[in-house]
Structure 1
Amino acid sequence: MDPQVILEQFLGYLDQGIALAKSWLLSPAAWSQFGLLIASYLLARLVNRIVAPKLTNLLTPPAESTNIFAKARRFVLQFLPLILPLLAYAFTAMGEAVVTAMFGAGPVIGFGKRVFLFLAIRAFVKDILTDPFLHLLGKFVLIPVGALYALGILDPVIVLLGEARVSIGNIGFSALALIRGVVAGSLLFWLGQWSNGQSSAFLDRQEMRPAIRQLTVKTAEFVIFGIAFLLLMNIMGIDLGTLAVLGGAIGVGLGFGLQKIASNFISGVILLIEGQATVGDYVELDGGEAGTIIKMTARATILETYDGRWIVVPNEDFITTRVVNYSDSGSANRLEVPFSVSYDTDINRVPDLIEAAVAAHPNVLTAPERPDCELRGFGDSGIDFAVEFWVEGIDDGVNKYTSDVLFVVWNTLKENGIEIPYPHRVVEIKGQMPA
């Protein structure tokens, strides 16, 4: 639309507003409507002063109560700031009905009624919408719409936006359709995110394998956001049949440029179904990558090493290469600690002493096997032994199993007078000793 035409329309509305204000100020009927507005507001304040404390006491549950009724009461309790403006709106509406019956019209009191509704909207955004996104949407969308409605110019503005055209290439939209799509899309995808969080929390409480739980959560997420997308297309008036071309383009892309993405996505689904590796497992890949799985996405699996680094591994690597899973739902692992004793030692005493001492460690398991001390060989400086033991977990990070057992071996040998050898070297000097 021509900007000059828009300016002329705005000036016309401004002249109408000035003329309306003059008629209100000079009309006895307008003054009586102002009196009804003030009376409605004072009556609303009086009723609110009586009703609000009683409702607060009625709706406030005990602090320790967490049942569904307590949650419902707390939810309703947050709407109490709306009582005053809504009471004023209701009493003003009654006064408007009386004025309309007496004078045939009540523009002043009708304006006041819309103002009270605007105050209710403002209180709703300020005091009730605590979610950051919803608060932002209410501040920049809901409050301006309420203000336009209070001024009585919402319908003309809607018509004006419907006539204004926005072109993107060969595609044209009205400004109203574009705004409606942005607002509706924001709400739908926020609702989808909230629903996804609720469904994830619900599934986390169910008794199922972690891999199946992850797959169910991802499936629910795709379904929720797919429905949100289809609803948005319907709201914006876009024919879903036109998406067939886009679907064909995506299919061609998957066939050529997106092969790896498709492969990783399918590999991720297989991983979740089979459950061979899941969140919390400590794994090591053929390429040397090792760490605890902290997240499994549609494209990749994220490992966290014990030094705090994150490794992003494509899901395909878990299918096409060899993977060592040290955790596998909490299975035990066997560790080994080598040590040596002097050649002067009665080696027949060593196995019983070491096995008993290591078995007393609180983290050493008795199943599938008890600690086993074995003679491994006769070294250059001493007789070589090794003690094998089973523990629950990986010997790294917060777990120091090998270090603890080495301390146990050292203390046991010292307490029993068994010497731990150190290397001896014989140096032979040929010829005369230097002076």
Structure 2
Amino acid sequence: MERLQGWLNDALDTALGWLSSPAALSQFGLLIAAYLIARYLSRRFSPVIERTLTPKPEATHIIARLRRFALQFLPLLLPLLAYALTAAGEGLTRSIFGQGEVIAFGKRVFLLLVALELVRKVLPSGLLKLMGRYVLLPVMALNAVGLLDDVTARLDAAQINLGNIQFTVLALIRGAVAGSLLFWLGSWSNQQSAGYLKAQPDLRPATRELAIKATEMAIFGAAFLILMSIMGIDLTAIAVLGGALGVGIGLGLQQIAANFVSGVILLLEGQTTVGDYVELDGGEKGTIVKMTARACILETFDGKWIVVPNEDFITTRVVNYSDQGSANRYEALFSVSYETDINTVPAIVEAAVAKLPFVLQEPDGPDCELRGFGESSVDFAVEYWVAGIDDGKNKYGSPVLFAIWNALKDAGIEMPYPRRVVELRGQQA
């Protein structure tokens, strides 16, 4: 409290001295003039800048994204212009009057206004806005009143001990601020690069996913290394950590490492990618909806998600029904009674199935085959080709069976049912 009272007394004495000094009053006049000029320039050039930077609504390329990002900082134009004009006038004032404390104070106030507009109108909601409100603004306020150096020295002197590791309070605050800013920029950069890569039609889906993952790792890896340097942590410790991590992988993380390497191989080969309908040796079936560094996520026809480790796609047999978008062949089983002239059945069934809109004539049209003679029926199967896949929703099987039933009924061919011969023996009296 005594130190705070001393600061207040010093501030009061300084203010009274400024009010009684012609040089200080002239500097106040320069500050007002700088603000008015900055306001005029801001009103004049803000619409021009906005029109120049605003891209077309349908534009999605990287330049358009950068222009939209730059537009977010337009509210900072007024305080930045005032700060720049004040900074330019400070040197002139010191050369004429031999002092410039008032105009230097005004410059710091304009810098505080820049930070205030940044927090209010630019920073997104969440951790970054919270850090700006409770860290950036107090720092700028202390800088404006000239107390930042004193407070910084005290924070740098306060140490926190975690075993053999020592941190100063200043280093922790600096790391929190820099980390928030770096990872926000990293997240934004990752979103923009991922959107740009997904919009490239020339890239294969697997190559696109690999490029997105590699870019993400590079961005956040660089952000981590920069943060370590800002916090004053010796980067040689990372080498020790990497060695320890290698030992850990060798002892207990083999499966994680194997799945990670398998995921990279899957992305490089491109034989299995997002959107493919696959069946594994273990019986898992589904459409691949997501590929991560550890596993692939399959969605079954009934909406369930199955998480399959990447290693299973490398070490076991995988049936990919939709690879390269090729046609697929299916068959439908049916039977007729023994009273039927079976020589007429193939032509009737093939003609009925060929009329279905999803049945292809290439690479081969419907083919009806005799499969065997059962106890009560003659068994047939009709094979047909379609452009898609039957992913368990019975998209093709049910219409084909309906067509076979209707065709046989129209031809007067009876569908069989089990029959038994019962012999009755007379009873003795």
Give the structure-2-normalised TM-score. Answer: 0.84
Tell me, in whole angstroms, the C-alpha distance in 2 between the residues paired with 1:116 and 1:315.
55
* Shift, 1:39, TM fit: 4.2
**Structure 2 residue aligned with 1:177:** 171
Tell me, in whole angstroms, the C-alpha distance in 2 between the residues paired with 1:329 and 1:190.
39
Instruction: Show the 5 A alignment for 1:214-293.
Output: 214-293=209-288
Moved more, 49-58 or 142-151: 49-58
The amino acid that maps onto 2:99 is A
The amino acid that maps onto 1:351 is P
**Structure 2 residue aligned with 1:321:** 316
**Distance change >3 Å, CA 120–CA 332, structure 1 → 2:** same
Moved more, 53-62 or 173-182: 53-62
In the alignment, does 2:161 pair up with 1:167? yes
Moved more, 27-36 or 261-270: 27-36
Of the three residues 352, 366, 391, the one matched with 1:371 is 366
Contact 2:127–2:180 under 8 Å retained in 1: no
**Structure 1 residue aligned with 2:326:** 331
Tell me, in whole angstroms, the C-alpha distance in 2 between the residues paired with 1:57 and 1:256.
60
- Aligned length, in residue pairs: 426
Tell me, in whole angstroms, the C-alpha distance in 2 between the residues paired with 1:296 and 1:210.
11
Tell me, in whole angstroms, the C-alpha distance in 1 between the residues paired with 2:144 and 2:247.
53
Moved more, 380-389 or 182-191: 182-191
Cα deviation 1:174-217 (Å, max 9, x = unaligned): 12222222333333334444444444444442634433443444
Any idea what SS the aligned residue of 1:105 has? coil
Tell me, in whole angstroms, the C-alpha distance in 1 between the residues paired with 2:281 and 2:90.
80
* Shift, 1:324, TM fit: 2.7
Of the three residues 96, 104, 107, the one matched with 2:101 is 107
Tell me, in whole angstroms, the C-alpha distance in 2 between the residues paired with 1:78 and 1:196.
18
Any idea what SS the aligned residue of 2:324 has? coil
Instruction: Show the 5 A alignment for 1:349-364.
Output: 349-364=344-359
**Structure 2 residue aligned with 1:146:** 140
Contact 1:281–1:329 under 8 Å retained in 2: no
* Shift, 1:373, TM fit: 0.8
Give the structure-1-normalised TM-score. Answer: 0.83
Tell me, in whole angstroms, the C-alpha distance in 1 between the residues paired with 2:77 and 2:322.
57
**Structure 2 residue aligned with 1:396:** 391
The amino acid that maps onto 2:142 is L
Contact 2:142–2:148 under 8 Å retained in 1: yes
Any idea what SS the aligned residue of 1:349 has? helix
Contact 1:114–1:149 under 8 Å retained in 2: yes
**Distance change >3 Å, CA 253–CA 39, structure 1 → 2:** closer
Instruction: Show the 5 A alignment for 1:399-414.
Output: 400-414=395-409
In the alignment, does 2:12 pair up with 1:13? no
**Distance change >3 Å, CA 110–CA 282, structure 1 → 2:** same
* Shift, 1:91, TM fit: 4.5
Percent of residue pairs bearing the same amino acid type: 64
**Distance change >3 Å, CA 219–CA 93, structure 1 → 2:** closer
Tell me, in whole angstroms, the C-alpha distance in 2 between the residues paired with 1:216 and 1:55.
34
Cα deviation 1:67-114 (Å, max 9, x = unaligned): 777666655544432333234334444665565455433434432332
In the alignment, does 2:124 pair up with 1:125? no
Contact 2:61–2:196 under 8 Å retained in 1: no
* Shift, 1:59, TM fit: 5.0
* Shift, 1:406, TM fit: 1.3
Unpaired segments ≥5 residues, structure 1: 1-6
Tell me, in whole angstroms, the C-alpha distance in 1 between the residues paired with 2:24 and 2:186.
49
The amino acid that maps onto 2:323 is D
Instruction: Show the 5 A alignment for 1:300-319.
Output: 300-319=295-314
* Shift, 1:171, TM fit: 0.7
* Shift, 1:387, TM fit: 0.8
Contact 1:81–1:123 under 8 Å retained in 2: yes
Of the three residues 271, 290, 293, the one matched with 1:295 is 290
Cα deviation 1:325-359 (Å, max 9, x = unaligned): 32333333221111223334332222112112212
Instruction: Show the 5 A alignment for 1:88-107.
Output: 88-93=82-87, 96=90, 99-101=93-95, 103-107=97-101
The amino acid that maps onto 1:111 is F
* Shift, 1:48, TM fit: 3.5
Tell me, in whole angstroms, the C-alpha distance in 2 between the residues paired with 1:102 and 1:224.
49
**Structure 2 residue aligned with 1:3:** none
In the alignment, does 2:378 pair up with 1:383? yes
Tell me, in whole angstroms, the C-alpha distance in 2 between the residues paired with 1:10 and 1:355.
97
Unpaired segments ≥5 residues, structure 2: none
Contact 1:233–1:240 under 8 Å retained in 2: yes
CA RMSD of aligned residues (A): 3.4
**Distance change >3 Å, CA 398–CA 129, structure 1 → 2:** farther
Tell me, in whole angstroms, the C-alpha distance in 2 between the residues paired with 1:170 and 1:361.
77
In the alignment, does 2:413 pair up with 1:418? yes
Cα deviation 1:115-142 (Å, max 9, x = unaligned): 2222222223333334755444433443
Tell me, in whole angstroms, the C-alpha distance in 2 between the residues paired with 1:317 and 1:51.
60
Moved more, 237-246 or 365-374: 237-246
Moved more, 419-428 or 237-246: 419-428
Any idea what SS the aligned residue of 2:370 has? strand
Contact 1:373–1:386 under 8 Å retained in 2: yes
